[in-house]
Structure 1
């Protein structure tokens, strides 16, 4: 099974990609913390997902299990649902589901690795069976013992170990068609896909151990049949891979006074958690959290590097805690004030940082057991690891842990590390500018991770050119999944730098990319704020645990389109930034077509009272996307902000004059105003013209009525023309869906012809029984059927679209309703895809 992760499930509606830029220009994107869904609400969501099984060719053994939830945009909730088979989770196979306030599914992003299960799949490579066995041969405790013996015999468990039974897909990397003959150096990330070649029943074993002053955290995949370790990686999410002020002067920190004692706890940021607020504790050279820092005065630290062997509680020892608290506060404020994201999990659960972990420890790390961070004092290579970008980095791991859960291995592990580097840099920019406001400043960060903590002044990583460390790659290659995640993060770090700051066309520059071949060779960045918003939206609402570089590009681009519009300069910048690291093709940046112009003017209309009147404009040139504002008699019409404006004409509208002002998205926007279009409203409708409004479904859903959620641009089907269509059916479950539109046929019409394009595909195998149907009828205003034009079923499946034509002249002089009504039975989907609906009269 070859697969690419899909952005949208086939039969699920999606939020329109073009949004008003003003809504996201600055300020929070995400909603405030919301109550977790009730068991009943989760059960309803699971049932809705299960109803789509037939559309994906899945049987009743396949299911879903809610794994995590967090806030989305205002009024929305994000649910991560694991894919299961016979109740056992399929490793790295999951759906990220966005639901609205009513529990309706808005969109689904998925990583799907389950298609072979139950269809001749393999228990182990080469052992074929059509009914995968989920009964383990060894116990989970035996799997844990195997891991402990290998990774840390004699160590102590820092947190209880766990072993979860899973179905583990065996993955190989294959080239797509057309890339078979490319050399390794010529390969682009989109030239390869992952292929599931079999399945193994296994345990995912999580061990969190300590030995002496060393933390030993591992995730392991252990065969549930043989006990063999199939895969293993370190789960200690550190800022330092291998080791190659104090930093901020006098800073304000929030503390809590109880009686006469101050404690380093900020109760204004975060609730609940271990300490009821954000806190700094003293590990005192252990791997345990210890207790919260306290002091008899509210003056803390001496601003100097910790003196090895000294007290961890005197002024010198307190400095590490000051560093940590200032970083914790600024990271919280960056996420909250800019993005609307509360704490690590979005639900405002308080976290903490333990300072002085271990002895002379050259590292800092995030722990998924306590959802907290540990900061070392530094040893041979570093000073205290509490710099602002390092704190932001570690909290970035916490956000990923609470959302996408990017597996800390291979390409997904590199993206996990990169997210933390990106977060650290953005927190640094925000903090350096005073730590206030609703946007990330354009400058202030140094694009070098951990430069301040290094004793030799050499940073841990250079985001703008990762190879400066002597080990990290600047671009994707087919070998990137086999290197340490602190190195494989490099290309995505560079992508983000280019996205924010742009590149340089001089080949000797550290900011040059050989993969940027379109004009201009020096791509233009979009700034810290927009770049971080796009990245954060992708990581929290679209990424899955197995997202790789190619998938990240697809989903970061989707996030840019959602926030700023398809074809926008932000969307183009994402494509170019990924192209700059050998992920996807480069695109030209300079708009084609020159200045903004109106290429198609709105036309005057003559209609009868009660009929729909529609005015449209086409703009070209300038910088997409465009903003529209329709006017009537020179006065702006509230809500009329699309390329098409429609209204139901009344007698009082006779003689109304309409026009539209179009504005592009250039840094210095340009505008163009259309010519006037006059609406004439008569008592006798004109014989000629188009009677259907939005028959291609390209502009929202109006004036269609009924099950309008079927209208959109969904993965799994394509339009007959344009990008959008109406997808009725495709559920694989009992369903009824309708689309209707009313219009008038002039009594003087000499002809009235209905045409529409229809594509039918089905999972039904019968050649004799019509299980699923689409009925096309004409009705009067009372809903009575005047005539049935056509009935289609799973028996009419065909490749591509078929054009259907009918005369409606029998209904001239009437206002009628065109109805598409679909019914689907309880299993095996049939899709009826409708496009290009037209009624022309003469």
Structure 2
């Protein structure tokens, strides 16, 4: 059953930025029907393909280990094919320290029983670079690219043409590189585009080619001003089809009803590539707003969370402007996978609901539907609405549009009577929204209960106190009179997105959201991080829970790199080991492989770093050790650590082992038979070594069949 929802009952049921969701039944992974025998591909439903991609993603860590990739590399499933005989072929893209690897793609071939039979590589083997800090600045790279372009004349860069850092693995030796897109006169016209690949160390041209998936046109929007938008050329004309963002098409709904915005819809098309005049006198102006806003939202999710479109499948959703009549409303509808924008009403001077943060808000409803799928009622509905406000706001900051600078006001461009639809810094200022949590949260309109999470996010990002942001006054007044600094909006957004995509479910309430964001902060920044502490203070500041004890870490700071050296006391809490929690990277440890990592393919017990040993699925050995450890001379000294064992083996036979050796003597052995769902604390008695300086090593050994992974964290001697 479809359900449209209101954005603000204060302007009747019309003022909305809601969402429509429908229930759907499960579909089988593979569609039924006649298929060819043997190696011919089976037909797959969309749901089945996504399920297989999800399976491939879960396997990615073990696959990377089995293929000998390093801890800085990550495999990202891109496509999958299943043969009639059950064989499976998974195509992966690769990243290195978060950077895309051009030429890093590969196909893993699996037999019906799941065993890897072979691999097709674009660049075989692990990627190894000295670092990912370029010698060439991005500005110098852009300048060099414009001078080096050969496919376009009078090359220039635009606000869309930025330098992208990546790993170029097309040649024999991978190098750090920049990819720039320059614009000039070429085969596709005055706005032809060319990609130029440069060595980020020397500035040498690695490759260059013309890019013509879309044509850049000029638009004048009602809300966003004059901007560059992506259009497509066909025959002698242009359409508002954005192939660079999943084929997103903006239609003129021609006042079709909200229930069916496509009823009278027509494509926007014309012979020239200039759109709108900045006012409502042109029907194209609202379409420019929508096209620009949806593209910026796509780019934000892609660049920030590596998410490709609403459903993360690279597919753009159609958008309809000029929906209905006098419609002070915009909404996302999951049943048609589309977004609709009204033209406003006399209540807001007939300003179209196509503002930048509104576009981000609506597209984010789709992201929520594709992840946590928060029910659109009660406290979960408030979380649903807040998620769209949060990411709509982040899109506004990301876009950097001088006509609509970033702020924490929602819909401030829509000419509402009080100047906005909602405020995240002070939700209650609209007279209806909740700034503080109470038992009423589940019974009020979701656009009002969203204020609690909006307020939490603002306080997490910006802290308390008065400030001016985007030219507007903000005042993050806490409900408990507290005072603290924020961690910055980018970190706050990372925490909220991880909570949304990893921990929240359809029925999550505010208490669950608090738990999820605390866990997300621990995942991203550490269990004892200042970031997690501020998250707890922000929830307490909106009257939900109490703040955690101050970890005493000072201001939040980025996670350390593997090459950083320990600072302060390397042995906190009396730990005789150096860097026992691995949060200082490799400091203090000797490893035979790149075991110490902060890879997100596995999880740490605490913080972000841990040791990932074994998991190859083939004969291998590894050691991780530390020397000159002063065992206490009194009491009952112990070696303690947290261990997580996952395995493809079965039964109680120890095929793959991890031994704990002290001065060459094996004191404990763990194996595939010790598999556990999570980390388990282990203790080894060191009484025989009181007062001695010892060497401790973890020695892993794996047989030729089936993988076992040993994860170590928070190792201590005391």
CA distance, structure 1, for counterparts of residue 346 and residue 638 of structure 2: 64
2:528 to 550, 564, 567: 567
CA distance, structure 1, for counterparts of residue 700 and residue 295 of structure 2: 56
Deviation at 1:755, TM superposition (A): 8.1
**Does 1:293 pair with 2:254?**
no
Cα 1:537–1:353 shift into 2, 3 Å? same
Deviation at 1:14, TM superposition (A): 13
The 5 Å alignment of 1:349-364 reads 349-364=315-330
Task: Report the equivalent of 2:17.
Answer: none
Task: Report the equivalent of 2:185.
Answer: none
1:557 to 518, 531, 551: 518
Deviation at 1:570, TM superposition (A): 2.2
* Contact 1:753–1:839 (CA under 8 A) maintained in structure 2: no
Q: Aligned Cα RMSD in Å?
A: 5.6
Task: Report the equivalent of 2:483.
Answer: 522
Deviation at 1:40, TM superposition (A): 10
CA distance, structure 2, for counterparts of residue 490 and residue 324 of structure 1: 25
Partner of 2:335, secondary structure, is coil
Unpaired runs of 5+ residues, structure 2, are 1-57, 62-72, 98-106, 111-220, 468-472, 556-565, 593-605, 625-636, 690-694, 702-710
Cα 1:617–1:492 shift into 2, 3 Å? same
Deviation at 1:301, TM superposition (A): 1.8
Task: Report the equivalent of 1:384.
Answer: 352
Task: Report the equivalent of 1:586.
Answer: 547
Give the alignment's TM-score, normalised by structure 1: 0.46
* Contact 1:32–1:340 (CA under 8 A) maintained in structure 2: no
Deviation at 1:261, TM superposition (A): 2.2
Deviation at 1:592, TM superposition (A): 6.6
* Contact 1:32–1:342 (CA under 8 A) maintained in structure 2: no
The 5 Å alignment of 1:303-452 reads 303-305=278-280, 316-382=282-348, 383-433=351-401, 444-452=405-413
CA distance, structure 2, for counterparts of residue 320 and residue 531 of structure 1: 31
Cα 1:541–1:364 shift into 2, 3 Å? same
Which one has a bigger Cα radius of gyration? 1
Partner of 1:617, secondary structure, is coil
Give the alignment's TM-score, normalised by structure 2: 0.53
* Contact 2:583–2:608 (CA under 8 A) maintained in structure 1: no
Task: Report the equivalent of 1:7.
Answer: none
Task: Report the equivalent of 1:248.
Answer: 224
Query: In the TM superposition, what whole-angstrom CA distance separates every residue of 1:90-132 from its partner, at most 9, and x where no partner exists?
Result: xxxxxxxxxx9999xxxxxxxxxxxxxxxxxxxxxxxxxxxxx
**Does 1:501 pair with 2:466?**
no
CA distance, structure 2, for counterparts of residue 540 and residue 329 of structure 1: 21
CA distance, structure 2, for counterparts of residue 336 and residue 837 of structure 1: 37
Cα 1:378–1:538 shift into 2, 3 Å? same
Task: Report the equivalent of 1:511.
Answer: 476
Task: Report the equivalent of 1:279.
Answer: 249
CA distance, structure 1, for counterparts of residue 108 and residue 503 of structure 2: 19
Cα 1:303–1:806 shift into 2, 3 Å? closer
Deviation at 1:731, TM superposition (A): 12
Task: Report the equivalent of 2:238.
Answer: 262
CA distance, structure 1, for counterparts of residue 320 and residue 681 of structure 2: 63
CA distance, structure 2, for counterparts of residue 337 and residue 834 of structure 1: 31
Partner of 1:364, secondary structure, is strand
Higher-RCO chain (CA-CA 8 Å, sequence separation at least 6): 1
Cα 1:522–1:740 shift into 2, 3 Å? same
Cα 1:392–1:773 shift into 2, 3 Å? closer
CA distance, structure 2, for counterparts of residue 323 and residue 101 of structure 1: 43
Partner of 2:228, secondary structure, is coil
Task: Report the equivalent of 1:790.
Answer: none
**Does 1:35 pair with 2:79?**
yes
Partner of 1:582, secondary structure, is coil
Cα 1:741–1:363 shift into 2, 3 Å? same
CA distance, structure 1, for counterparts of residue 607 and residue 408 of structure 2: 45
CA distance, structure 1, for counterparts of residue 392 and residue 571 of structure 2: 49
Partner of 2:505, secondary structure, is coil
CA distance, structure 1, for counterparts of residue 410 and residue 712 of structure 2: 52
Deviation at 1:471, TM superposition (A): 1.2
CA distance, structure 2, for counterparts of residue 462 and residue 705 of structure 1: 49
* Contact 2:393–2:406 (CA under 8 A) maintained in structure 1: yes
Query: In the TM superposition, what whole-angstrom CA distance separates every residue of 1:122-172 from its partner, at most 9, and x where no partner exists?
Result: xxxxxxxxxxxxxxxxxxxxxxxxxxxxxxxxxxxxxxxxxxxxxxxxxxx
CA distance, structure 2, for counterparts of residue 471 and residue 745 of structure 1: 68
Deviation at 1:458, TM superposition (A): 2.8
Task: Report the equivalent of 1:789.
Answer: none
Cα 1:744–1:697 shift into 2, 3 Å? farther
Cα 1:479–1:589 shift into 2, 3 Å? same
**Does 1:473 pair with 2:449?**
no
CA distance, structure 1, for counterparts of residue 252 and residue 540 of structure 2: 45
Cα 1:370–1:615 shift into 2, 3 Å? same
Deviation at 1:587, TM superposition (A): 3.5
CA distance, structure 2, for counterparts of residue 561 and residue 370 of structure 1: 37
CA distance, structure 2, for counterparts of residue 73 and residue 414 of structure 1: 37
Deviation at 1:414, TM superposition (A): 1.0
Partner of 1:251, secondary structure, is strand
The 5 Å alignment of 1:30-179 reads 34-35=78-79
Partner of 2:224, secondary structure, is coil
Query: In the TM superposition, what whole-angstrom CA distance separates every residue of 1:491-529 from its partner, at most 9, and x where no partner exists?
Result: 1011111111111299x994221336xxxx422112222
**Does 1:645 pair with 2:619?**
no
Comparing 558-567 and 362-371, the one that deviates more: 558-567
* Contact 1:706–1:740 (CA under 8 A) maintained in structure 2: no
Deviation at 1:562, TM superposition (A): 2.5
Deviation at 1:30, TM superposition (A): 10
CA distance, structure 2, for counterparts of residue 358 and residue 705 of structure 1: 58
* Contact 1:698–1:725 (CA under 8 A) maintained in structure 2: no
Task: Report the equivalent of 1:787.
Answer: none
Partner of 1:616, secondary structure, is coil
CA distance, structure 2, for counterparts of residue 395 and residue 532 of structure 1: 16
Q: How many corresponding residue pairs?
A: 463
* Contact 2:435–2:455 (CA under 8 A) maintained in structure 1: yes
Deviation at 1:597, TM superposition (A): 6.2
Task: Report the equivalent of 1:622.
Answer: none
* Contact 2:653–2:673 (CA under 8 A) maintained in structure 1: no
